[in-house]
Structure 1
Amino acid sequence: MVAKKVSLKSIIGGGYGRFWNFRGRYRVVKGGRGSKKSATTALWYIINLMKYPLANLLVVRQVHQTHKDSTYAQLKWAAHRLGVSHLWDFKLSPLEIVYRPTGQKILFRGLDDPLKITSITVDVGYLCWAWFEEAFQIRNEDDFDKVDMSIRGALPEGLWKQLTVTFNPWSEKHWLKKRFFDEPNPDVLALTTTYQCNEFLGPDDIKLFEWMRANRPRRYRVEGLGEWGIAEGVIYDNWEEKEFDWREIAKRPGISSAFGLDFGYTADPTAFIATLIDHERKEIYIFDEHYQKAMLNNQIAEMIRYKGYAKEKIIADSAEPKSIEEIRRCGISRIREATKGKDSILNGIQYLQQFKIYVHPKCVNTIVELSNYIWDNKNGTFINKPVDDYNHLMDALRYAVTSNKQQSGSPVGQVSGQTVAAQITW
């Protein structure tokens, strides 16, 4: 094999020296957006798997399906960035990455399939490292512990067991804060990183963070500076994250569907939400979402069509009638304006508070907004007005559900003669 020299400093940059050299059991990094925590972690694993020929890596997310476009793509990028991608096999079925010279593996698992987590074996060497990406999505600490306990057994000299945990700190009530940040432990490296240590950002990226600091100071503290999201004054405490099969929920008598859309572009995302409503039991099931900046109207229409909702009634923000008309002309014929009036926001919130809301784990952005959508605070006292932040999916949810208020809605099982099950792919 021909040796290849690369400059790690030019590829990795600064700000992660302690992370790079720590050998304790837990490396935990909370950080804002653009803090290069995931990129640095991926680079570390590619380099060190090549350096230690008996090591193997398990990569874990809450939902297995989310790996392909996140951790798998990030590790593939890291191999390319280091100029060693020709030494790795990137497999899609099953999803895994194999180091050709030795047969070492990077395995991908989701906590939504616990049996596959507890029965992992490797052909070469030892399973000694695990990476929990977007760990905020792991709401149940016991799920983390099961994987933690699976990284066990004696190792040869020179190897060590280690779990790396990376996440955005959306809520201070998450178990990660107490376990890794509030109780000092010599076997834990707990770091907070920000975009300010990422020398690879462009001027436009920095400009966006500066805009956020001036216009969305609360969001800037979390997404810019990596500080914990404050959970006091949360508007909705009537929700929980829950695995469910929307197809089974849809079979209930009287279930109706409701879809909402809130527009955004440069600073704010376009937010789309899909729900099932059980009026008799007072339950709402949020089973799909879309959350993306810089979407043109034709792209929004294509997204709705791709997801299988083109024939559904979709309630959109009435502040943009031109956008609604353009989307309608793109074939989303049943899109309608939301009805607004005096106190419509408060009335909609009060109506939603009457329901128990269940959110599927795949709806990550909905979970983030529900955790951070709070009442405004004046001089230490909460007032009857929401903070204008973390509210894009919340507005879309309000449009969808309140429009369904006086009607049973279209039967969930039927969309233009086809079943929803036939249209929606997960």
Structure 2
Amino acid sequence: MSNEIRISMQKLIGKGYADYVNFKGRYRVCKGSRASKKSKTTATDYIKKMMQYPQANLLIIRKTYRTLKDSCFAELKWAIHQLQVDDEWQVKESPLEMTYKPTGQKIYFRGLDDPLKVTSITVDKGVLCWMWIEEAYEVLNEDDFNMLDESIRGSAPEGLFKQITLTLNPWNERHWIKKRFFDAENDPDILAKTTNYLCNEFLDDADKRVFERMKRDNPRRYQVAGLGNWGIVDGLVFENWEEQDFDIKELLQQRKYMKTLFGLDFGYTNDPTAFFAGAVDENAKEIFVFDEIYNTAMTNKMIYKAILNAGYSKERIRADSAEPKSIDDLYGLGLKGIMKARKGPDSVNNGIQTIQDYKIIIHPSCVNFLTEITNYTWDQDKFGKKLNRPIDGFNHLMDAMRYALEDIKGDLFSFD
């Protein structure tokens, strides 16, 4: 290390992760709730270790490349600054890359949406021995992980070790990560750890009250988003779906009769704003989900800009009728095709029943849609009996899809 890091790890990230940062086995897996410090801990740990091991290089993976800049890349920049080593790192945004200047070691960033770029990395200095897969829940296909696992191969120089880190929110107990890592018995190459907000000593009272309200009002969600336990998924609303790569432009050329449909569900502080982009083949009874926008704290101007930049500003967009002022604002900003969704008695269930007649084909880049559809279930009463309504959670893109698909057949959605 060129200079001693002036800020201790414990001062930066606090307690609760000693076993995690000291583990040198091949697989280091951390599932955790929101505010559990898992991402900041991982970012800080890797910056520190890169400066300690002069032959190590790191590859950061997310399912889609476009999500890296505002997640892992931002966390690593934060860690560099907090460790007060800004002058020792070169940070590039096009393409995303970080270089430790004293040695030439690099941190590379790749998305699974371009697998050739993942498997073809060669390093100039040292070896590629570490990989961090952030939001690993998004990797629904275990074969994709196996491909990544195989890319960390070869002998490591003396004193160095090969390791793959996975960090994730544990939304669904059926995910392959649970069986492979958390259900494994006494494997010295695996550290499978669960953390939650209770080990985050940096949260203030207002932060803690968010979780207390969740515990009181939505105990099922609290188990996952609060305590970091595996989500128990029983009674999915939509089961006839698959993840599949496709080119929407080619598809629309081949099936000129298909309709493109767009929906918008508003959120802000806790719930995200969710924009759905899909195409419907009524002959084959197929819905193709090809794009999404999904973010919290989006003002109406930010929503307009995001839809404009995505190329959908001239499309007809069905939006949640509960926010007429937002619809008027977006119309005034330039979304001339925006209109309120038709709501009425049983509109949710009628919409769901219509969509259940179709097979839903989801592009791999729509990671938030994939997360929602694998967790969108029927609600239960306190005795565990299924109710004829979906849970109020994982429903933002599901609602946006329902609004968009009101236009499949108007007579099915005459709720006014």
Q: Tell me, yes or no, whether TM beats 0.5.
A: yes
Report the counterpart of residue 284 of structure 2 in structure 1: 281
Question: How far apart, CA to CA, are the structure 2 residues paired with 1:339 and 1:82?
Answer: 53
Report the counterpart of residue 235 of structure 2 in structure 1: 233
Residue 385 of structure 1 pairs with residue 386 of structure 2? no
Report the counterpart of residue 136 of structure 1 in structure 2: 137
Could you tell which deviates more after superposition, 200-209 or 78-87? 200-209
Alignment of 1:15-414 (within 5 A): 15-184=16-185, 185-251=187-253, 252-378=255-381, 379-406=383-410
Question: How far apart, CA to CA, are the structure 2 residues paired with 1:3 and 1:139?
Answer: 41
The residue identity in structure 1 corresponding to 2:319 is: A
2:6–2:83 contact (8 Å) kept in structure 1? no
Give the share of equivalent positions with the same residue, in percent: 55
Tell me how far 1:97 sits from its aligned partner.
1.2
Could you tell which deviates more after superposition, 39-48 or 297-306? 297-306
Task: Please give the per-residue CA displacement for 1:19-56, whole angstroms capped at 9, x wherever unaligned.
Answer: 01111111000011111111111111110110011111
The residue identity in structure 2 corresponding to 1:317 is: D
Instruction: Show structure 1 runs of 5+ residues with no match.
Output: 408-426
Tell me how far 1:4 sits from its aligned partner.
4.8
The residue identity in structure 2 corresponding to 1:250 is: L
Matched position secondary structure for 1:97: strand
Task: Please give the per-residue CA displacement for 1:66-85, whole angstroms capped at 9, x wherever unaligned.
Answer: 22222222212211111112
- CA RMSD of superposed structures (Å): 1.8
Question: How far apart, CA to CA, are the structure 1 residues paired with 2:264 and 2:16?
Answer: 39
Question: How far apart, CA to CA, are the structure 1 residues paired with 2:370 and 2:206?
Answer: 28
Question: How far apart, CA to CA, are the structure 1 residues paired with 2:198 and 2:165?
Answer: 22
1:216–1:389 contact (8 Å) kept in structure 2? no
Question: How far apart, CA to CA, are the structure 2 residues paired with 1:110 and 1:323?
Answer: 34
Tell me how far 1:242 sits from its aligned partner.
2.0
Matched position secondary structure for 2:156: coil
The residue identity in structure 2 corresponding to 1:189 is: L
Report the counterpart of residue 410 of structure 1 in structure 2: none
Question: How far apart, CA to CA, are the structure 2 residues paired with 1:307 and 1:174?
Answer: 31
Could you tell which deviates more after superposition, 95-104 or 174-183? 95-104
Question: How far apart, CA to CA, are the structure 1 residues paired with 2:328 and 2:119?
Answer: 51
Could you tell which deviates more after superposition, 398-407 or 55-64? 398-407
- Equivalenced residues, count: 407
Task: Please give the per-residue CA displacement for 1:133-163, whole angstroms capped at 9, x wherever unaligned.
Answer: 1111111111211221222222232111111
The residue identity in structure 2 corresponding to 1:240 is: E
Question: How far apart, CA to CA, are the structure 1 residues paired with 2:5 and 2:273?
Answer: 44
Task: Please give the per-residue CA displacement for 1:170-206, whole angstroms capped at 9, x wherever unaligned.
Answer: 1111100100011222211000111121222343332
Inter-CA distance 403–204: structure 2 relative to 1 (3 Å threshold): farther
Inter-CA distance 286–74: structure 2 relative to 1 (3 Å threshold): same
Tell me how far 1:283 sits from its aligned partner.
1.2
Task: Please give the per-residue CA displacement for 1:62-121, whole angstroms capped at 9, x wherever unaligned.
Answer: 222322222222212211111112111112344321111111111122222222222222
Inter-CA distance 129–278: structure 2 relative to 1 (3 Å threshold): same
Tell me how far 1:271 sits from its aligned partner.
1.7
Inter-CA distance 210–107: structure 2 relative to 1 (3 Å threshold): same
TM-score (norm 2): 0.93
Instruction: Show structure 2 runs of 5+ residues with no match.
Output: 412-416
Question: How far apart, CA to CA, are the structure 2 residues paired with 1:369 and 1:86?
Answer: 41
Question: How far apart, CA to CA, are the structure 2 residues paired with 1:175 and 1:123?
Answer: 34
The residue identity in structure 1 corresponding to 2:403 is: Y
The residue identity in structure 2 corresponding to 1:403 is: D
Question: How far apart, CA to CA, are the structure 1 residues paired with 2:166 and 2:118?
Answer: 17
Tell me how far 1:370 sits from its aligned partner.
0.6
Question: How far apart, CA to CA, are the structure 2 residues paired with 1:135 and 1:4?
Answer: 30
Tell me how far 1:286 sits from its aligned partner.
1.4
Question: How far apart, CA to CA, are the structure 2 residues paired with 1:208 and 1:345?
Answer: 28
The residue identity in structure 2 corresponding to 1:197 is: C
2:265–2:396 contact (8 Å) kept in structure 1? yes
Tell me how far 1:2 sits from its aligned partner.
4.9
The residue identity in structure 2 corresponding to 1:275 is: G
Task: Please give the per-residue CA displacement for 1:329-387, whole angstroms capped at 9, x wherever unaligned.
Answer: 22222211111222111110010011111122222221111111111223233232212
2:131–2:165 contact (8 Å) kept in structure 1? yes
1:351–1:402 contact (8 Å) kept in structure 2? no
Matched position secondary structure for 1:179: helix
Question: How far apart, CA to CA, are the structure 1 residues paired with 2:195 and 2:104?
Answer: 34
Question: How far apart, CA to CA, are the structure 2 residues paired with 1:171 and 1:96?
Answer: 32
The residue identity in structure 2 corresponding to 1:341 is: G
Question: How far apart, CA to CA, are the structure 1 residues paired with 2:104 and 2:190?
Answer: 30
The residue identity in structure 1 corresponding to 2:241 is: W
Question: How far apart, CA to CA, are the structure 2 residues paired with 1:178 and 1:23?
Answer: 21
Could you tell which deviates more after superposition, 274-283 or 41-50? 274-283
Inter-CA distance 227–281: structure 2 relative to 1 (3 Å threshold): same
Could you tell which deviates more after superposition, 136-145 or 58-67? 58-67
Matched position secondary structure for 1:287: strand
2:33–2:169 contact (8 Å) kept in structure 1? yes
Inter-CA distance 162–398: structure 2 relative to 1 (3 Å threshold): same
